[in-house]
Amino acid sequence: MQEQKSMPLIGDKFPELEVTTTQGTMNLPEDYEGKWFVLFSHPADFTPVCTTEFVSFQKRYDEFRELNTELIGLSIDQVFSHLKWEEWIEEEIGETIEFPIIADGTGDVAREIGLLHTASKTQTVRAVFIVDPEGTIRAILYYPAELGRNMDEILRMIKGFKKAEEENVAIPANWPNNEIMDDHVILHPASNKSHIEKRREQIENGEIECYDWWLCHKAPKK
């Protein structure tokens, strides 16, 4: 019996994989070079929670693409199962699934990235990898079988990553609706005394706002 490999960690490069999908053979992460991508696994086709998730992802697909982000699903099902499920979703719910779904019939892909369910060697867990344009894993989310994902949070995370990189800042809780600083972003803590003095000058000049020199924030660039 093949053993499941450990799940890659945040900061690791996404493993190089050749995968079979509903849109043909793909090479990950190569085929998404220069783009963010969200790989999300689901336990099985034709299951209630997974069906609601695929509809939700599709309804937000344009929003993901506006963020230079692609979607790709995965489960241990055959291509024909994925295609029939997509057909059912279109006929019964009225949504056409436009993103590819990996058909991991052998379970090799799931084993490679640590997605096999401990209670079942034929089902993938409900997980999410957010991968940046350089192929680096930036976030991993894990969900139980009974709880569907929140796609708006995944969108928020990608927006937050992009904002953090563009402005070299950190992102507060519940951004852009934080309870104490609204849509502001957080400046990294001062690292020396001269930096502290510069912060105090910025406060006096109205460039930034601070609760103290170690907790400063500013309005994000539009």
Q: Would the pLDDT of 57 be above 80?
A: yes
Question: For the whole model, what pTM was predicted?
Answer: 0.92
What is the secondary structure of 125-154 as a DSSP string? -EEEEEE-TTSBEEEEEEE-TTS---HHHH
Determine the pLDDT at residue 121: 63
Per-residue pLDDT tens for 21-39? Answer: 999 999 999 999 999 999 9
Beta bridge partners, 178, equal 182
Determine the pLDDT at residue 4: 52
Tokens of 133: 């344009």
Q: Would the pLDDT of 127 be above 70?
A: yes
Active site residue 210: no
Tokens of 203: 């406060």
The answer to whether the beta carbons of residues 74 and 115 sit under 8 Å apart is: yes
Give Dmax (Cα) for the chain. 66
Determine the pLDDT at residue 1: 44
Counting Cα atoms < 13 Å in the Cβ hemisphere of 30 gives 7
Number of H helices, E strands in the chain: 6, 10
Q: Which of 19, 28, 38, 50 is catalytic?
A: 50
Which residues touch 129 (CB under 8 Å, ≥6 apart)? 8, 14, 38, 39, 40, 113, 137, 139, 140
Determine the pLDDT at residue 191: 86
| Cis-peptide into 220, omega within 30 deg | no
Q: What is the mean pLDDT of the chain?
A: 93
Amino acid residing at 169:
V
Tokens of 76: 């241990």
Per-residue pLDDT tens for 144-171? Answer: 888 999 999 999 999 999 999 999 999 9
Determine the pLDDT at residue 5: 62
Query: What interhelical angle do 79-93 and 48-59 show, nearest 10?
Result: 70
Determine the pLDDT at residue 123: 74
Amino acid residing at 98:
E
Length of the chain: 222
Q: Kindly list the structural domains of the chain, giving each domain's residue range(s) and its CATH number in brackets, ordered by start.
A: 17-149 (3.40.30.10), 168-218 (3.30.1020.10)
Residue 3 — pLDDT band, cuts 50, 70, 90? low
Average pLDDT estimate for 10-17: 97
Q: Is 126 annotated as a binding residue?
A: yes
